[in-house]
Amino acid sequence: MEKNELMTAIFVLGILSGECMNLIKTNPLELCPQEHLQYGTLCPSMMEGENEEPFVKFAEWVPHFSYNNISSYGMEVKNWWERSVRVVSVDEFGAKGDGETDDSKAFKKTWKEVCSSAYTVFLVPHGKKYLVKPVRFSGPCKSALTLQVSGTIIAPGDPKVWEGLNRRQWLRFKGINDLTVTGGGTFYGSGDQWWAQSCKINKTNPCQSAPTAVIFESSNNLRVKNIIVENSQQMHVKFRKCVGVHADHLKVLAPAHSPNTDGLHISASRHVVITNSIIGTGDDCISIVGDSFNIKIKNIICGPGHGISIGSLGKGNSEAQVSEVKVHGASLYNTKNGLRIKTWQGGSGSAKGIKFQKVHMENVKHPIIINQFYCDSTKPCPTKASAVKVSDITFKNIKGTSATKEVMRFACSDMVPCENIVLQDIDLTLSSGSTPTTFCENAIGYTIGSVSPQSCLQRCQQCKEEHAITHNFSYLPKDEL
């Protein structure tokens, strides 16, 4: 075999066997010692040499999901391995990193340089604080690239800075394929003043939008790994119109009282994997909204916050589709909700093929909740005939304690009942020790194994068990199913 073919073959094999790490061992172009094999991080041994250009190790550049065009993608990987990579620090473009000087210009210049050259790393150095105003980082870029945030990027605290600018964003990454964001550093939103002026905190104020700290939009094959996002103005991280995302080892932190500060928000995106992350904010730890498919969430710690949420869907009579969502392994502490699906009346579309599995709860106010009458509005929401259809929803192996009496709530509409709800191995008790209750309205499904408290679902007549649980996760490795 030619070398190219060999690399491709190894790559495909790695994907098929689900053992991507094999690839690393067989990589003949090893640049770093084995212990530094971490994608996107600078290889320390290479940094030590005085005149040596630092290298970046791309050994972990193997997605945990595959695309249609595996072989061409494999070639792309090979090319990376054969090259050295140039690291461009924001300091080279005049950034001060003192936390007070406006470093926005230096960031823009660095981006221009990095995005227009091949094989580059945008470096935000460790140990410094860079004050950056709202900036949009746009692609397409010349090749795959890495944003190595090792220091802190800090937002201006005063909302007035946004006057005349888009109030909905602080840092926006748009149209950038094959981007990796990593480095152990922090995106710090300085959100206090935004929270204070929110209409949820100060009722005399009008309800206005506030920035999302970090937005990834229309960017395919994105990795965000080993990053802290803290005290965002509103949502922390948003993935919008992205295909192929792996978010791993993220820490997302804000106080419980901060309004609408969702941790990770997924919108109109496909093939998203979120793993090994800690999220504690004032709103949903993870929220998934319309036109999102094949989302996998694994090993998440959530709290404080509003739990893991699908929706809200169907606001303002809109159509929304969410399917193939799997949450496998999560711990929720003192959250307002646990696992939730929420839809507005009057919407259309569907939320289906959703599985919550192996979730531990501690003192969660509403552990399991499907609500087709969601209304987060100052005015009451009138009853409507249409609704987003909710079906094929499995709650399996959900255990722990609830802070309120009603541990399960399935509030579904007359016209569009919830169907194929499966409860399997549920054990939810009250933190107080008293007897828990359940609520069901137009909720059809069945139970498997031991379910406590007893299910109130309407028995399912037509639905077959096989249909309820065969969710197609074709993009995910077999061992993860």
* Active-site annotation, residues: 283, 306
The stretch near ligand NAG (CB under 6 A) out of 197-205, 285-293, 338-346, 429-437 is 197-205
What letter represents residue 65's amino acid?
F
Structure tokens at 42: 């600078």
Integer Rg of the chain from CA: 23
Nearest-5° angle of CA 372, CA 376, CA 380?
A: 85
Cα atoms found within 13 Å of the Cα of residue 172, Cβ hemisphere only: 18
Return d(Cα 198, Cα 233) in angstroms, integer.
10
User: According to CB under 6 A, which one of 204, 435, 461, 462 is a site residue for ligand NAG?
Assistant: 204
**Minimum CB–partner distance for residue 472 and ligand NAG (Å):** 20
Is residue 117 packed enough to be buried (19+ CB in 10 Å), middle (13-18) or exposed (0-12)? Answer: middle
3-state SS class at 168: coil
Q: Are 217 and 177 in contact (CB under 8 A)?
A: no
Judge contact between 173 and 215, C-beta under 8 A: yes
Alpha-carbon distance 366 to 180, whole Å? 36
Binding positions for ligand NAG, 59-98, rule CB under 6 A: 68-69, 72
Q: Find the part of the chain contacting ligand NAG (CB under 6 A) among 30-38, 198-206, 273-281, 429-437.
A: 198-206
Q: Which is nearer to ligand NAG, 26 or 474 (CB)?
A: 474
Which 235-294 residues touch ligand NAG, going by CB under 6 A? none
Q: Which is nearer to ligand NAG, 198 or 343 (CB)?
A: 198
Name the minimum Å distance from CB 139 to ligand NAG: 19
* Residues that contact ligand NAG, how many (by CB under 6 A): 6
Compare residues 208 and 383 and give the one whose CB is closer to ligand NAG: 208
What's the min distance (Å) between Cβ of 69 and ligand NAG? 4
- Smallest distance from the beta carbon of 335 to ligand NAG, in angstroms? 27
Decide: is 4 part of the binding site for ligand NAG (CB under 6 A): no
Measured from the CB of residue 268, what is the shortest distance to ligand NAG in angstroms?
21
Smallest distance from ligand NAG to CB 157, Å: 16
CA torsion, ordered 186, 191, 192, 197, to nearest 10 deg = 180
Q: What does the block give as tokens for 40?
A: 């996107």
Among 47-55, 199-207, 223-231, 292-300, which window interacts with ligand NAG (CB under 6 A)? 199-207
Residue nearest to ligand NAG (CB): 72
Q: At closest approach, how far in Å is the CB of 160 from ligand NAG?
A: 13
Q: Which residue, 159 or 263, has its beta carbon nearer to ligand NAG?
A: 159
Nearer to ligand NAG, 205 or 450 (CB): 205
CA distance 453 to 366: 14
Q: Which of 116, 202, 317, 377 binds ligand NAG (CB under 6 A)?
A: 202
Which is nearer to ligand NAG, 50 or 203 (by Cβ)?
Answer: 203
d(C-alpha 202, C-alpha 64), whole Å: 44
Handedness of CA 218, 189, 231, 151 (dihedral sign): positive
In the complex with ligand NAG, which residue's Cβ is closer, 202 or 470? 202
Which CB sits closer to ligand NAG, 26 or 69?
69
Q: Which of 84, 205, 383, 474 binds ligand NAG (CB under 6 A)?
A: 205
Q: Which residue has the tokens 């461009």?
A: 88
As measured in angstroms, the least distance from the Cβ of 140 to ligand NAG is 16
Distances 150 to 12, 88, 89 between C-alpha atoms, Å: 32, 13, 11
Which residues lie below 8 Å from residue 150, measured CB to CB, with a gap of 6+?
123, 124, 125, 126, 127, 183, 184, 185
What count of residues does the chain have? 481
The answer for residues whose C-beta is within 8 angstroms of residue 380's C-beta and 6 or more apart is: none
192-229: burial string, b at 16+ Cβ within 10 Å, e else:
eebbeebeeeeeeeeeeebbbbbbbbbbbbbbbbbbbb
Site residues for ligand NAG per CB under 6 A: 68-69, 72, 202, 204-205
